[in-house]
Amino acid sequence: MNPQNGYDIEDIAVGMSANLGKTITEADILLFSAVSTDTNAVHLDEEYGKTTMFGGRIAHGMLSASLLSAVLGTRLPGPGVIYLGQSLRFKAPVRIGDTVQARVTVKEVIADKCRVVLDTVCTVAGKVVIEGEATVMTTSRAKREAGK
């Protein structure tokens, strides 16, 4: 892995995977709400949350999904990656104190286009909370060297 460009397309193979974990805090939810401007009461108001099917506050789904972006941007393929698409299916809520494990796994490599398709999943205590698929464009050592 190149620390400035992550994994080049020439180094990526089907089956490679990377992950990271993060425990969701009150501060994470408040900061995400401020940045995204999503002030839905189910994320911010425990009393309101108790009246919903969730029985209390839940984290923003996109907060947990953003951890997939972190894995892609810092681990696999890593720095230099460009997101082209992402599908997401939200399967279960995430709450304050839950540790979300985000994992990406290479499903397909399209070398001539520097594209990688990855399965993406977030879990809490082994339970899937988000699943989907990402398509990214990554760097190429051959193209970089040809440009010199």
pLDDT at 148: 60
Q: At what angle do helices 26-36 and 61-74 cross, to 10 degrees?
A: 90
* Residue tagged 């279960």 (tokens): 92
C-alpha span between 86 and 122 (Å, rounded)? 13
User: Which residue reads 């010199």 in tokens?
Assistant: 148
* Second-level CATH architecture of 9-23+60-146: Roll (3.10)
pLDDT at 3: 62
| Predicted TM-score (pTM) of this structure | 0.92
Cβ–Cβ < 8 Å for 136, 3? no
Give the HSE-up count for residue 37: Cα atoms under 13 Å, Cβ half-sphere. Answer: 0
Q: Is residue 146 predicted with pLDDT exceeding 90?
A: no
Q: What's the pLDDT tens digit per position in 110-135?
A: 999 999 999 999 999 999 999 999 99
Q: How far is CA 33 from CA 42, 51, 59, in A?
A: 11, 20, 10
Give the CA radius of gyration of the chain.
17
Count of residues making up the chain = 148
Q: How many whole angstroms from its chain centre is CA 46?
A: 26
**What are the residues whose beta carbons fall under 8 Å from the beta carbon of 116, sequence distance 6 or more?**
9, 12, 77, 106, 108, 109, 110, 135, 136, 137, 138
pLDDT digits (tens, 9 = 90+) for 17-73: 999 999 999 999 999 999 999 999 999 999 999 999 999 999 999 999 999 999 999
